[in-house]
Amino acid sequence: MSDQTVSLELLARLIREMQADMRSFRTEMAEFRDQMTVQTAILMRLEASQNAMAEQLRAMASQHQRTDRRLLALDERLGVLEGR
Block means of pLDDT (10 residues each) for the chain, 84 residues, are: 78 96 97 97 96 96 96 92 80
The predicted structure's pLDDT at residue 83: 81
Entry pTM:
0.57
The predicted structure's pLDDT at residue 84: 65
Instruction: For the chain, give the number of residues.
Output: 84
SS3 readout for 4-30? CCCCHHHHHHHHHHHHHHHHHHHHHHH
Cα separation, 53 vs 60, in Å, equals 10
For residue 4, which phi and psi values (nearest 5 degrees)? -115, 140
The predicted structure's pLDDT at residue 2: 57
The predicted structure's pLDDT at residue 55: 95
The predicted structure's pLDDT at residue 3: 63
The predicted structure's pLDDT at residue 1: 45
